[in-house]
Structure 1
Amino acid sequence: MNYTTQMDAAKKGIITREMEVVAKKEKIDVEVLREKIAQGKVVIPANKKHKSLDPEGIGEGLRTKINVNLGISKDCCNVEKELEKVKVALKMKVESIMDLSSYGKTEEFRKKLIDMSPAMIGTVPVYDAIGFYDKELKDITAEEFIKVVEKHAQDGVDFMTIHAGINRETAEVFKRNKRLTNIVSRGGSLLYAWMELNDKENPFYEYFDEVLDICEKYDVTISLGDACRPGSINDATDASQIKELIVLGELTKRAWERNIQVMIEGPGHMPLNEIAANMLLEKKLCHGAPFYVLGPIVTDIAPGYDHITSAIGGAIAAANGADFLCYVTPAEHLRLPTLEDMKEGIIASKIAAHAADIAKNIKGAKEWDCEMSKARQNLDWERMFELAIDPEKARRYRRESMPEHEDSCTMCGKMCSMRNINKVMQGKNINILREDD
């Protein structure tokens, strides 16, 4: 039986190779997975032309996945340096990379990235439009915006952020409801400006059916962008954000009617006490579609440490239903991330995702922690390093401060609780001030 997309196959009762791979990784029954894909509660972003892809699932009942943002800009346009980051990110086993390139040889970087990456690849076509056509924003036509989407799909991109929710109706709500930080989404701000400059409807909303045609042809997952995401905790859960979310829910149904897989993008900056309610709102208004969040960043006062502010928010968000975390680095709001910034962001996001998976009782999550606890109780340092989320750093810290006694560390020495309880429970004496008998 033929099928056009993963969702089309799922609705027809077909088990695809991608479904089999994901079910095995997640340790779940493939029929359960197929049903969730048919319902739109799980997506497997897998462009038919991305030949190096090792598929991953995103959504209800699956491990929380993380995304890494990379790409070149006008101020930092070294393709080889960005590709080096890609190699390190893949070595760190990230499930997704978004190419946010906005200047120069964007096609060259994108194609190399897709060719080499087993991780799923996402893009934001509106970022690429100005450089692709070498035209000012106002002069780009609606048809040209759609053609960039088609170009990215042809290149093999697995999912695309499409800011279709900021239509003229949403824009009017934004104008009537003043914000502290206005529109902070890069793509959202570009489209709002284009609409104002041309007095026209958002092309991605007006020609959404044409976008769906492209996505169906290549099996591209649509990640419905949150142009009105809050850029400060003051603007969280406001009229603009919720109005756009309602539109995204309507667009989700239109995409599902065409068997196009959909994710919903979410906040943004948000106080701790509003996160759980926002996860519920998204799932309700967008009919259970997987939720992809940036952060949320839970306080606005920590530039240089936003990998931490976002990991706090990300853990709470994922524990309450978010399915996909976009990493944030220490460089957020400050500069293009360096290689070290990227690594810090990946680890922080991985910790948040895993902490949430424990809370959601995802298969295998708690077992990993139990294995680490056993190794600690047994003072098995090598096993601890093997199980660590960042083995390299753990080994380095141990190596840089070696204790006098191998069965302890330089924090507690012979007062180590694990060491002493192990000895007592074995019927041995504890000698802290002198050598052991």
Structure 2
Amino acid sequence: DELRFSGVLTPKRAKAGRRVTQLHYARQGIITPEMEFIAIRENMGRERIRSEVLRHQHPGMSFGARLPENITAEFVRDEVAAGRAIIPANINHPESEPMIIGRNFLVKVNANIGNSAVTSSIEEEVEKLVWSTRWGADTVMDLSTGRYIHETREWILRNSPVPIGTVPIYQALEKVNGIAEDLTWEAFRDTLLEQAEQGVDYFTIHAGVLLRYVPMTAKRLTGIVSRGGSIMAKWCLSHHQENFLYQHFREICEICAAYDVSLSLGDGLRPGSIQDANDEAQFAEL
């Protein structure tokens, strides 16, 4: 109990049948305060780049990107509504400053932190967060796999001015003592709810690792290098059942919509070497 963050507010959640996501508001034609803040922030970032780094724009292919001279709140709304950009902003993470990720906006940088079973403490993880943001990280992922995962994440969230992401399957695995075969949809769902109520802004979900794709990795030089992908592959093979993240993907989306959590689709069958690049397993998952 002494590790718990004091003064935590009661978690917020959308009422049944209602939506509180930035995507919902954008598609309703509503400009939110977050969108206004982002427009100002993006323009300030561009001005800084123009004055400090770039003296001219290099010619090149736009690949469909449309880069206006000045970003407006209306432009932010339209890009989100079109599905070309996201605003990771859990309603339970008020400490975070709004930011946007999309093809027509500034490039964003993520930093990974997190404890392990053999090293680090809550104090060290918060220190990593502080230095990540000082050096310009736009988002931070807490990939903790050791003790006190919940408490560590709480301290990170309550001190983070940037969106925080996680891989929920890591904590779900710890709840079953690290035995992948013992994972269940119920345990994973409870983990999603726990993290969404804390304020996690985006989840990485390995829903594309399907049972029929796993044998395609047998001839690989480096096998499955994604931790989340290997966890789900082991579960699928041991139970001879389809990936429960894929089977329950609609429910995952409903949970995310209730708290405005964004989804990052984890590439569980990504290649770990040039030898394995562009093989049938990689493209099957895509």
Task: Tell me, yes or no, whether TM beats 0.5.
Answer: yes
In the alignment, structure 1 residue 54 sits paired with structure 2 residue 93: no
AA at the equivalent of 1:128 = Q
Q: Which residue of 2 aligns with 1:357?
A: none
CA contact (8 A) 2:211 2:240 kept: no
Equivalent residue, structure 1, for 2:51: none
What does the per-residue CA deviation read over 1:241-293, in whole Å, with 9 as the maximum and x for residues that have no partner?
A: 11111xxxxxxxxxxxxxxxxxxxxxxxxxxxxxxxxxxxxxxxxxxxxxxxx
Taking only aligned residues, the RMSD between alpha carbons, in angstroms, comes to 1.4
**Unpaired segments of 5 or more residues in structure 1?**
246-437
2:110 pairs with 1:67: yes
Match of 2:224 in 1: 183
Q: Deviations over 1:118-153 (max 9, x none)?
A: 111000001111223436221121221222112111
- 2:81 aligns with 38
Aligned equivalents of 1:172, 1:179: Cα separation in 2: 10
Structure 1 window deviating more from structure 2 (98-107 vs 145-154): it is 145-154
**1:222 aligned partner:** 263
TM-superposed CA distance for 1:96, in Å, is 0.6
Match of residue 278 from structure 2: 237
Question: How far apart are residue 4 of structure 1 and its match?
Answer: 2.2
SS across alignment from 2:109? strand
Aligned AA (2:204): T
More contact order relative to length (CA 8 Å, sep ≥ 6):
2
| Inter-partner Cα distance in structure 2 for 1:86 and 1:197 | 37
Contact 1:145 1:203 in 2 (8 A): no
The question of whether the paired residues in 2 share the 8 Å contact of 1:228 and 1:244 is answered with yes
What are the residue-to-residue correspondences of 1:283-322 with 2, within 5 Å? Answer: none
Indicate if the aligned counterparts of 1:77 and 1:104 stay in contact, CA closer than 8 A: no
| Aligned AA (2:269) | C
Out of 15, 23, 40, the position equivalent to 1:24 is 40
Determine if contact 1:181/1:232 at 8 Å carries over to the other structure: yes
Contact 2:211/2:237 (<8 A) preserved:
no
- Looking at structure 1, the residues matched to 220 and 216 of structure 2 have their Cα atoms a distance apart, in angstroms, of 11
Q: Are 1:83 and 2:126 counterparts?
A: yes
Select 2:148's aligned residue among 97, 100, 105: 105
Say whether residues 1:14 and 2:30 are aligned partners. Answer: yes
User: How far is the alpha carbon of 1:57 from its aligned partner?
Assistant: 0.5
**One-letter code aligned to 1:37:** V
CA-CA distance at 1:72 after TM superposition: 0.5
Identical positions, percent: 41
Q: In structure 2, what residue type is equivalent to 1:232?
A: S
Q: Counterpart of 1:171 in 2: which secondary structure?
A: helix
On the 8 A contact 1:128/1:148 being kept in 2, the answer is: yes
Residue correspondences, number: 242
Distance of aligned partners of 1:186 and 1:146 in 2 relative to their CA distance in 1, 3 Å threshold: same
Equivalent in the alignment of 1:212:
253
Residues 73, 103 of structure 1: 8 Å contact kept: yes
**What residue in structure 2 maps to residue 134 of structure 1?**
177
The CA deviation at 1:93 is: 2.9
Which of the residues 201, 218, 222 maps onto 1:158?
201
Out of 99, 112, 115, the residue aligned to residue 158 of structure 2 is: 115
Q: In 1, distance between residues paired with 2:34 and 2:210? A: 34
Which runs of 5 or more structure 2 residues have no equivalent in the other structure?
Answer: 1-17, 44-70
